Structure 1
Amino acid sequence: MLLAIDVGNTNITFAAFSGKSLVNEWRIATSGTRTAEEYGVWLSQSMALDDLKLIDIKDVIIGTVVPGALFNLKGMCKRYFGCTPLVIGEPNVDLGMTPQIDNPQEAGADRLVDAVAAHSKYGGPLIVLDFGTATTLDVVDEQGNYAGGIIAPGVNLSLDALHSAAAKLPRIAIEKPKQVIGKNTLECMQSGIFWGYISMIEGLINRIRDEYGLSLKTVATGGLASLFGRHTEYIDYIDKDLTLSGLVEIFHKNKV
């Protein structure tokens, strides 16, 4: 089996694949100080709950936006799987596309991987909208190349900033309010976050389409994609496993 590891700013997802079929996945909070042994023990116990073993893993691919976590994840691969992982961004890994931006090395691994997966599954050109720690909108051209994009504060990041900076504003859950005009603090915050992000997304997609010159379709991923996707016509596809699909796609491109 293949183990795909997606290291985000908030969580790390470990996903086991048989061929291109997902077997199971497990998540742990991202930490730059967790050791190779800690990863190995935790993963072994998590897999055991699903009747899987570390020896079932033969190959590993890693995409990370947290450089501090990479060293110990590589150490885990060497110690527990006896392999050297493919790592997105390293010279020996062919993405099958070329980032069309000023400094290709600046592009986050997750954004490049999402671009590969989105083009493979939905064609192009298109926009990839990722609801992560940051909210990103990225353009993938007709040939599947990453063509640049936009980075905005993530939804939860904005909520944390409101709660931390304003003494009287509580921490709230993200959900669609009953109406746009709030009648109390909770409703006002929910409306500002929910409809504020819907408006931002729709506005940015319109501006991207105007500048690019085409009516690009949009695929959304990330934990909040389903919630926001139900309430705007600007999102055409919702794909919660887009990044994992991209990692698997890139692995098979490089193992041919």
Structure 2
Amino acid sequence: MNLTIDIGNTRNKLAVFYKNELVDSTSIDELSVPTLQNFLNKHSNIENGILSSVKVIDPSILAFLKSSLSYFIELDETTNIPIENQYKTKSTLGKDRLAAVIGAYNIFPDMNVLVIDMGTAITFDFINEQKQYLGGTISPGLTMRYKALNHFTNKLPLLEKNEDFSLIADNTANAIISGVQNGIIFEVDGYINTLKSEYDDLKIILTGGDAIFFDKKLKNTIFVNLNLNYIGLNRIIEHNQPK
């Protein structure tokens, strides 16, 4: 069995796979050796593992994983992956972005796929039918946009996402909500439509913490998969695991 660990900007996510089947997953606020030990005790058949992180990892955690697992990968720019990475600054590429693209390739092999991760930041990443990852874009996420309006102005309040919003708002609070949320919708639909003009067979996968919130609000047909990073990380293990 395989253990995938995805350390993001706000959450730490663990998942267990048996071959390509997701067996269990959980999110935790803080990753520690005792937490990992408890998780491994719960899944005693785990032999292989991979860790992807956007942060610097405590050396004791890496040492524990290396000593506890038969085969362990700390994902970085030198890791052997099943796609061709054409990103020019590989050392600066977020590991979560790379894992998501590999997950998309695993779901839609030999197809043009756009991955939109709606997390702390909103990232757009494209892999073509030749399994070449070409790159993408990064923009502020939903919560970050609300916080920025509050932080960089004197009077605008700090608000949160709201299901009730319109195109034209008649008060300041609703104007903020409309601007932030409609702005993201227009950005995402606009990006998709522009890319579709070049790739008419484009598949689109939405993932990340705000994916469900925006799913039905977008005009384009999309697939939502909140386990995309897990799937990509597991695919990397399977690709590298000694036969």
Structure ranking higher in helix proportion: 1
Following superposition of structure 1 onto structure 2, how do residues 32-71 of structure 1 map, counting pairs within 5 Å? 39-45=32-38, 47=39, 53=42, 55-66=44-55, 68-69=56-57, 71=59
Question: Partner residue of 2:7?
Answer: 7
Structure 1 spans left out of the alignment, 5+ residues? 31-37
CA deviation vs aligned residue, 1:87-121 (integer Å, no higher than 9, x gap): 22253x32111112323333221112111111221
CA contact (8 A) 1:176 1:190 kept: no
Q: Report the CA distance shift for 1:70/1:149 in structure 2 as closer, same or farther (over 3 A).
A: farther
**Percent identity of the aligned residues?**
28
Structure 2 spans left out of the alignment, 5+ residues? none
Q: Report the Cα offset of residue 149 of structure 1.
A: 0.7
Following superposition of structure 1 onto structure 2, how do residues 92-107 of structure 1 map, counting pairs within 5 Å? 93-107=79-93
Q: Report the CA distance shift for 1:82/1:97 in structure 2 as closer, same or farther (over 3 A).
A: closer
Question: Partner residue of 2:102?
Answer: 116
Q: Report the Cα offset of residue 40 of structure 1.
A: 2.0
| Pair 1:214 & 2:199 matched | yes
> Within 1, Cα distance between the matches of 2:35 and 2:5?
14
CA contact (8 A) 2:77 2:91 kept: no
Q: Report the Cα offset of residue 235 of structure 1.
A: 4.4
Higher relative contact order (CA 8 A, sep 6+): 2
Question: Partner residue of 2:21?
Answer: 21
Q: Report the CA distance shift for 1:247/1:82 in structure 2 as closer, same or farther (over 3 A).
A: closer
Q: Report the CA distance shift for 1:70/1:139 in structure 2 as closer, same or farther (over 3 A).
A: farther
Match of 1:126, as an amino acid? V
Following superposition of structure 1 onto structure 2, how do residues 102-251 of structure 1 map, counting pairs within 5 Å? 102-123=88-109, 124-210=111-197, 213-215=198-200, 216-251=202-237
| Pair 1:76 & 2:64 matched | yes
Match of 1:63, as an amino acid? S
Q: Report the Cα offset of residue 85 of structure 1.
A: 1.8
Match of 1:15, as an amino acid? A
> Within 1, Cα distance between the matches of 2:70 and 2:222?
39
Q: Report the CA distance shift for 1:156/1:235 in structure 2 as closer, same or farther (over 3 A).
A: farther
Q: How many residues align?
A: 240
Aligned residue for 1:85, secondary structure, equals: strand
Q: Give the alignment's TM-score, normalised by structure 2.
A: 0.88
